[in-house]
Structure 1
Amino acid sequence: MKEAKLHIEKDFEISHTDDRLFSSFLEHLGRAIYTGIYEPGHPEADEDGFRTDVLKLVRELHVDHVRYPGGNFLSGYDWKDGIGPKKDRPRRLDLAWKTIESNQFGIDEFYDWSRKAGTKIMASVNMGTGTPKDAGEMVEYCNFPGGTYWSDLRAKNGHKDPMNIHLWCIGNEMDGPWQICHLDADDYGKKAREAAKIMKWVDPSIEVVVCGSSSREMPTFPEWDRKVMEYTYEHADYLSMHRYYENQGNDLDFLASFVDMDSFIRTLAATADYVKAEKRGKKDFKFSFDEWNIWYQSKDEPHDWMEAPSILEDNYSLLDALVFSGLGMTLLNHADRIKIACLAQLVNVIAPISTQKGGIAIRQTIFYPFRYLSQYGRGTVLQPVVKTPKIETKHGETPLLYTTAVHGDDDTVTLFCLNIGDEEMKVDIDLASFGSLTMTEHLCMDGDDLNAKNTFDNPNRVVPREIAPVAGTFKTCSVLLPKQSWNMLRFKVEK
């Protein structure tokens, strides 16, 4: 049995969490929209064609914002194709994913869906084929009160009152050669700066996110990020980050993915601090990690010019869920710099929710870590002092025990603990700075088969289990964490 020690000090604060850390993403890709959240004629569709079974699961996740409509799709998309009478909307080729877009779902429908889902919108404007003028007109359509062409057209299309979308992404992954109308850092930086100016002239209350690197493996990282922040320092509010992980054959390296994500964030923070010094500025650039997940990108799925094909529908295992939990914990551990984070995506496409066309919706294994991180990860993130065995992985020195501590606004303490080792671990926990506590819950995700998955035939094969909490009132305690497990330990501070 391995042993570790945790000391959780009440005053070792990292930052209070921003609710937008618990956000997600929907793109016009595969079945994310069509037969995902929107399926007129489905037995559980409402009067707007929205699947109520999916809405229920989205609400269960406590999703704060949803980024829309892309993604790679964004760089060839004209938002004007998705407004007005549906019978008049054009069918277009989507060059990003080689599919056909019907445009039966657009910003008006998404706004209505978001209100039913209890989420806010993180809207995106096209910086590929689109122009800064197009971006400003979309902000005008969505947010301007009335009395202009675009705001009056919004009213004509069924939304008299402004949508008041506060958060906007200026393009998507423009550093990537795969992107439609890819730009280098200088050209994108200039274009994004001008778009931000126009958009904020239309609505000074909005915040904007400019494109950072789509991966730390890009040859232009972090030079791209430096240049973009230099061009947009006075106008942008956040820089985006994207990162996906997949198992490349070594389970332990895969479980250690949180080390790579941590390094990515630290490198970008150092780059941002350099730009601040160079600009003689006072603003600390914050980050929007608006795409993160497990994604098996090596799969080949032919689908040329189909409408809403079943693509990128990864079926996640218990192992995937453990890795996913470490990534989510890393975002919380950098709550001082990461203010927005979007699980990519929300339904069907590399998602926690999967649907059958005309059938049921199920929770994938990664649904559960996101749900509990979102529900109980809100509050003040603390810096734990951890003494744990370490090993070497491809990411470098890696702790066998990875921990996130959150002091809730309701005077609770929640510890998220990931044991990536192949042995049970005894963890001694010192919480004395909080006074006396009681342990209210120990939830655990583990199992003998790391490849176990939830399916439509067996949707509850992998679910968290409850472990009996430590009894009594105490300032210190010891818990046993099963091998290769993700755990949530909840404590109540006694008055």
Structure 2
Amino acid sequence: MPTAHVELDRRSVIAPINRRLFGSFVEHLGRCVYDGIYEPGHPTADADGFRRDVVDLVKELGSTTIRYPGGNFVSGFRWEDSVGPRDKRPVRRDLAWHSLETNQVGLDEFARWLKLTGSELMLAVNLGTRGIEAALDLLEYANHPSGTALSDERIANGTPEPHDIRMWCLGNEMDGPWQTGYMTADDYGKLAARTAAAMKMADKDLELVVCGSSGSGMPTFGEWERVVLEHAYDNVDYVSCHAYYQERGGDLGSFLASALDMQYFIDTVVATADHVGDRRKSKKRIMLSFDEWNIWYLDEHQASDEVGDQWRVAPRQLEDVYSVADAVVLGDLLMTLLRNCDRVTAASLAQLVNVIAPIMTEPGGDAWRQTTFFPFSVTSRLARGAALQTRVTSETYETAVHGEAALLDALGTFDDETGTGAVFLVNRSTTESQTVTVDARSLGASRIAEAVTLADADPYAKNTLADQNRVGLAPNASAEIADGVVTVVLPPVSWTALSLA
């Protein structure tokens, strides 16, 4: 049995953990909104048509910030369609996902839904087919208190108080040829810079996110960020990162090491942004918003006929059913975001319901947790205070995609206010358990308040409509502590969380 050792030092702080790291994403795509969060005829629906069983699961998930309304959808979206009397809202074609948008859920309704879940709204503006004027109009409608044409329109529509949205995305994936109105880095950088400057003339305290690359595999990766930031650096606060992972060709070992690619992505974007800042002799540092990340079996969807010639309302699209292995990788990716919380200060798991999501629903029926729900919800609950530099001594293995990888990944956090710590552990071995020791003496730990593991004899076990509780968290009875040192056995292909008090 392989062995590994983890050492924590409460003085070795990376940075405080920004709660926005536990954000998610709702796009008008497939059944994420319609038949997902919104289903007026459902037995649990409230007066606005929102499913309260889904609200309860979102609260349990612990999502803090929700990016909305896209995604690719936003690049053809006319925000004005989604406000005012519902019976007067137009039905439009959504070119991004080849479906029909009824606009029955819009900004005001979605903001009310966010209050039910306790989440913050992160709003995207359309820079694909629109631009500065539409962005300023949306900002006025959403945030101005009263006394202007658009703020008074919001009040007349039944929302007297401004939404006070702080974080705004300047378009979406504008480097991608699939994006309606996609641009070169130079063209987008100029437009984003002008839009950002205008929006900050209206409110200098807005937090603005400029589009980075749609993935580290894009041919313009790195250079896109450099060119865009050369234009927009002074007026934006974040650059976005998007990354999706999947197992390919039965190569589970490489898939389990996907976090190495995410780390490469972060390192590259940070270096590029800082290079631009240093050239400009700027004291400001651009933060990263990892506002799309998840497991997504994109190859399979692209080979399917999900997006056909018919124009349908809320078709079933991108409804991945996740395995234990998928959940273990997702937990590891979230650990990587926390490990970089000095620069990654916002993130959005894409998406929230039905579409590549931790929560699934059936029209008129149940809502249930996918395997990926569990590492996200537990990490959101336990990772408090600050992330710690975590020293890991582990055996390694060779992957076809990422080269050498450690069999164990680990991250620790500590909250000075409560005196509690947490340790998150991933065993990447596909065949063997690992015995891990965690030196937590620096944390003053004397007892294990919680020890849970996500694993299964079948790493491809899933939760489905027919068997919604096939996979779940189990107490890890092997975990014990003596003189501040924890010993725990990790099954193969597993994710584990320890809460230390």
TM-score category of the 2 structures, normalised to the smaller one: over 0.9
Percent sequence identity over aligned pairs: 47
Distance 2:319 2:445 in 1: 47
Is 1:282 aligned to 2:298, yes or no?
Answer: no
Cα displacement (A) at 1:472: 5.8
Q: Which of the numbers 453, 470, 475 marks the counterpart of 2:462? A: 453
In the alignment, structure 1 segments of 5+ residues that lack a partner are none
Distance 1:330 1:274 in 2: 23
Partner Cα distance (2:64, 2:280) in 1 = 33
User: What's the CA shift for 1:471?
Assistant: 4.6
Verify the 8 A CA contact 1:428 1:477 in the aligned structure 2: yes
Conserved? CA contact 2:31–2:316, under 8 Å: yes
How far off is 1:473 after superposition? 5.1
Choose from 419, 422, 426 the match for 1:418: 426
Q: Counterpart in 2 of 1:402?
A: 409
Per-residue displacement from partner, 1:301-331 (whole Å, max 9, x unpaired)? 2443111001100010111111111111110
Runs (4+) of structure 1 exceeding 4 A deviation are: 469-473
For residue 242 of structure 1, report the CA deviation from its aligned partner: 0.1
CA distance in 2, matches of 1:277, 1:74: 33
**Structure 2 unaligned blocks of 5 or more:** none
2:354 is aligned with 1:348? yes
CA contact (8 A) 2:421 2:443 kept: no
Query: Greater shift after overlay, 6-15 or 461-470?
Result: 461-470
Whole-Å separation in 1 of the counterparts to 2:140 and 2:465: 43
Deviation at residue 470 of structure 1 after TM alignment: 4.2
In structure 2, what is the Cα distance between the partners aligned to 1:341 and 1:205? 20
Aligned to 1:28: 28
Equivalent position SS for 1:145 = coil
TM-score w.r.t. length of structure 2: 0.97
Matches within 5 A, 1:33-432: 33-249=33-249, 250-298=251-299, 299=301, 300=304, 301-303=306-308, 304-393=310-399, 394-408=401-415, 409-421=417-429, 422-432=431-441
Amino acid corresponding to residue 139 of structure 2 in structure 1 = V
Please state whether the residue corresponding to 1:13 is helix, strand or coil: strand
Superposed CA deviations along residues 439-486 of structure 1, whole A, max 9, x for unmatched, are 222100111111111011111100010022645652223221112211
Over residues 263-296 of structure 1, what are the superposed CA-to-partner deviations in whole Å (9 max), with x where a residue is unaligned? 1111111111111111111111100000000001
CA distance in 2, matches of 1:326, 1:65: 20
| Cα separation, 2, equivalents of 1:47 and 1:110 | 13
Would you say the 8 A contact 1:441–1:469 is kept in 2?
Answer: no
State how far apart, in whole Å, the 1-side matches of 2:491 and 2:62 are: 28
1:378 deviation in Å? 2.3
Whether the 8 Å CA contact 1:25–1:344 is kept in 2: the answer is yes
Partner letter of residue 270 of structure 1? A
Judge conservation of contact 2:480–2:486 (CA < 8 Å) in 1.
no
Task: Give the partner amino acid of 2:154.
Answer: R
Q: Deviation per CA, 1:339-389: give whole Å up to 9, x if none.
A: 000000000000000000111101000000110111111221001111100
Contact 2:480 2:488 in 1 (8 A): no
3-state DSSP of counterpart to 1:437: coil
What letter is aligned with 2:452?
Answer: L
What does the per-residue CA deviation read over 1:122-170, in whole Å, with 9 as the maximum and x for residues that have no partner? Answer: 0010000111110011010000011111100000001111111111001
Any conservation in 2 of the 1:144–1:203 contact (CA below 8 Å)?
no
Taking the aligned partners of 1:472 and 1:190, their CA distance within structure 2 comes to 57
- d(CA) in 1 for partners of 2:128, 2:139: 17
By how many angstroms is 1:118 displaced?
A: 1.0
TM-score by length of 1: 0.98
Q: Contact 1:45–1:51 (CA<8 Å) still a contact in 2?
A: yes
Please show how residues 431-450 of structure 1 align to structure 2 within 5 Å: 431-450=440-459
Worse-superposed segment, 58-67 or 473-482: 473-482
Return the alpha-carbon distance in structure 1 between the equivalents of residues 433 and 273 of structure 2.
40
Shift of 1:230: 1.4
Tell me the CA shift for residue 204 of structure 1: 2.3
